[in-house]
Amino acid sequence: MQAALAPNVTPRIIHRGIEPYQLTFDAMRAFTDARDEHTQNEFWIVEHPPVYTLGLGADQSHVLAAHDIPVVQTDRGGEVTYHGPGQVVIYLLIDLRRSHPKARLFAREFVNKIEQAVINTLEAYNLAGERKEGAPGIYVSNGQWQGAKVAALGLKVRGNGCTYHGVSLNVDMDLTPFSWINPCGYAGLATVDMKTLGVTVPLSQVQNALAQNLQDLLTAP
């Protein structure tokens, strides 16, 4: 008997609106705990009230002055980052064993595709982004803000190949809270948003553009 094709390859896009980080974090873990081989992959698009999140290997000392912003320990990789209003956040609830139609999508390739989706999204607004070796995320590649971080990436990949957490892209934010941490563990790392780079665009437009680029790259043959 011929084996069936892997079901539900294309992720379903869920708009969760503005939501406290802890609520989303708990929901991601519950979703991943409950999923099975038939559960459709999902992208969760969300905007968080101000929050600092710590990766599993994060050094608490990189939070220089939290002020009144909550600090949440997570189970993703990476160091400390900031989420807040005006930032696109997309969480990737993916089964890597069946997310690619022709072959298993391994974690390193998965990260590369997420980064490329951000680069493609920025390019559509005539902004140039690039990767940095050993520093996950996307950085401005030219101009006055060359080297500044515009997008962050952090994932959890469970032993069964299921992922959660995801990617954030700064669109139109109050960037001050980034100065109260060492972003991603790098002292003095400049952080920028699309508005500062000269692009004023509705957050919803960038949310949809990034989600579409992620879908295209993660389901392409």
Distance of CA 33 to the CA centre of its chain: 20
Q: How many CB atoms lie within 10 A of CB 208?
A: 16
- Residue 52 β-bridge partners: 71, 82
Which of 51, 184, 192, 214 is labelled catalytic? 184
Contacts of 3 (CB under 8 A, 6+ apart): none
Backbone angles phi, psi at 147, to 5 degrees: 90, -15
DSSP summary character for residue 50:
S
Q: Is 221 helix (H, G, I), strand (E, B) or coil?
A: coil
The span from the CA of 190 to the CA of 103, in Å, is: 38
Answer yes or no: are the C-beta atoms of 79 and 98 closer than 8 Å: no
Answer yes or no: are the C-beta atoms of 78 and 137 closer than 8 Å: no
State yes or no: is 184 an active-site residue.
yes
Contacts of 42 (CB under 8 A, 6+ apart): 11, 12, 13, 14, 31, 93
**Which residues are known catalytic residues?**
184
